[in-house]
Chain A
Amino acid sequence: MIEARHVTKKFKRVRAVDDLSFDLQAGGSLALWGSNGAGKTTLIRCLLGVFPAKGTIRLNGIDVSKKGKHARAMIGYVPQELAFHDDAKLGSAIRFFAKLRRVDVRQAAQSLALVGLSGHESKRVRDLSGGMKQRLALAIALIADPPIIVLDEPTSNLDSSGRGEVVDTLLRLRKQGKTMIFASHRPDEVITLADQVLVMEQGRLVQQTTPEVLWPSRSSIRSLRLFIEQGDEHHAAEILREGGFAVNHANIGLTVAIEQHRKAEPMNHLAARGIIVRDFELLRDVQQDDEPEHPVRTEPMSEVLR
């Protein structure tokens, strides 16, 4: 379904995506995992044909660089945050995209119903909550029933309830057989939604693996957010990575994927190297309420990736 070969995207001298290749079969779900600046968003934009890149990307055999319009007709794209004219009404916005995708405008109503936004057609985009905006973006992405869904950190701006709604919808789509590529900073989302993970670092593919390999004790994984002095964040992320922790340098603090019973370890690890953790919070995971609480054997990330 998706075939990427030696994809390279340079911005002046910086290689945002560096010689990256992967395959994804129809119905598969691939997570892009890595810190800010790892190249996840750039790779997504290359897949969409928005950024021209070296190498080849084929969707169902269609070369994105040569037939971008046709390739994009197969993709439903959900950005980090829906960017659409704030004055537009939800109903007219979705009808516009229905026409753009050459589908009957009645499908717009169906698409809104699918994400639970029926009855909100007269609301203006600016009046929607973050969760509703993301669900609208999903509705727009699904309007033409595309076989591929591409999502760029779709829950990063949502609270736990909004995140749960979006993840539930994505789970349903997976069950329907949609092919999915998504970037995420949250291990719980990757575990729930992905069957493959591309671990990226500074534009390069570190490993193409599975959530089970990255997080063997998947049932008790928690997302821990550490707040460190701003100038030290990058250094702290490096130290944690060297220590075998799965860490993302997101917009707010460092997010560390850690087993339920080892939550203090990253902080101790940083303290031993002179990095002070100002504050921390335990992020509420998508399926937290359903998970069994039991200790499991874990391995450092460095060993997992070896």
Chain B
Amino acid sequence: MSTINLNGTAHHPRNQSTATVAYLSFARSIMLIARREFRDALSSKWFLLYTIAFTTLAIGVSFMSLAGSGEHGFAGFGKTAAGLLNLIMLVVPLMALTAGAGTIAGERERGTLLYLLAQPLSRTELLLGKYVGLAIALICSLCIGFGLSAGLLAWRAGGVGAGSFLMLVVFTSVLALSMLALGVLISVQSRRAGVATGIALFVWLGLVFLSDLGLMAGTLLFKLRVQEVFALAIINPLQAFKMNVIINLNASLDVLGPVGMYASQEYGATLPWLLTGVIVLWCVLPLSIATLIFRKRGGI
């Protein structure tokens, strides 16, 4: 355990190297901020609203999955996962982007950012702490929705396909983390929470709707080759997520047309890793850029 004394020097057991002490202090500060952020998120209206909305929709989709085949009741895990895909692609980025966008900009607007920065805390610790806290809150929110849905499915339809459903939860969590990182980047750059939320909504619109339209228009206008269309498609983390989930459900990517066929043939078994890598990159890059900007720019 390290402590900082009044002279600003660190006391620590002799057998711990300075680097270890610095790392422990870094990790401890992040966890402290994360705990506070998590508690704040749990008591906030957005968390409650999104959790209720996501849970209701997830259970609704589970119930409706068999409606198309003329039956009533709950479908199995596999069909529900497929049914949930479009819902996740709409709701989860919205949840994560807006939550991330409000974090630093909100503190800045309330005047609490200055007070936190005046404490013995580095900017990196503050930013990462807030990210970790929000990430845990978001994943908890998703797990409540998925968990209740899974509980009902297990009760009414048995446990077949539970593995795919579990993987869907994992992929969704990674997608949420990437969108949260993008939201934090927006937040770092915004002076007001309202502006940050507005930009986040615009980015959401772009990722969910406009990028597909843009890709279609680009394909027609520039007569893009299939490999170029694939490359452009997977730049969008939502498309990468969609393809990954389809592969995970043991479905053929052929449903996505020539691009899907090309991806299956060209990348084979490495495709899920490539797609996962793209989404992870969408976590790491925005968060790293946000940290750099927050540190370099200084001020409040």
Q: Can you name the residue of chain A whose Cβ is closest to the Cβ of B122?
A: A69
- How far, in Å, is A271 (CB) from chain B's closest CB? 39
**Is B151 in contact with chain A by the CB < 8 A criterion?**
no
Q: Can you name the residue of chain A whose Cβ is closest to the Cβ of B29?
A: A100
**Is A99 in contact with chain B by the CB < 8 A criterion?**
yes
- Interface size bucket, A side? 35 or more
Interface residue from B36, B43, B111, B118 paired with A48 (Cβ < 8 Å):
B118
CA separation between A45 and B252, bound complex, in Å?
59
| Number of residue pairs A-B, CB distance < 8 angstroms | 81
Q: Is the CB of B36 within 8 A of A96?
A: yes
CA separation between A85 and B110, bound complex, in Å?
8
B119 to chain A: which residues have CB within 8 Å?
Answer: 72, 77, 97, 100-101
B residues with CB within 8 A of A = 2-4, 6-10, 29, 32, 36, 40, 43, 110-112, 114-115, 117-122, 298-300
A79 to chain B: which residues have CB within 8 Å?
Answer: 114-115, 118
CA separation between A62 and B9, bound complex, in Å?
9
Of the A-B pairs whose beta carbons lie under 8 Å apart in the complex, a sample of 21, sorted by A's number, is A50-B118, A50-B298, A52-B298, A69-B122, A71-B8, A72-B119, A72-B120, A72-B121, A73-B8, A75-B118, A77-B115, A77-B119, A79-B118, A83-B112, A84-B112, A85-B112, A99-B32, A100-B29, A100-B120, A101-B119, A144-B6
**Is A59 in contact with chain B by the CB < 8 A criterion?**
yes
Known: A83-B112, A99-B32. 6 other contacts (CB 8 A): A50-B118, A69-B121, A69-B122, A73-B6, A87-B43, A101-B4
Interface residue from A82, A144, A145 paired with B115 (Cβ < 8 Å):
A82
B8 to chain A: which residues have CB within 8 Å?
Answer: 59-60, 62, 67, 70-71, 73-74
B29 to chain A: which residues have CB within 8 Å?
Answer: 100
The 5 residue pairs across chains A and B that have the minimum distance between CB atoms? A83-B111, A70-B8, A52-B298, A73-B120, A77-B118
CA separation between A51 and B300, bound complex, in Å?
8
* Most interface-central of A73, A83, A96 (chain B CB within 10 A): A73
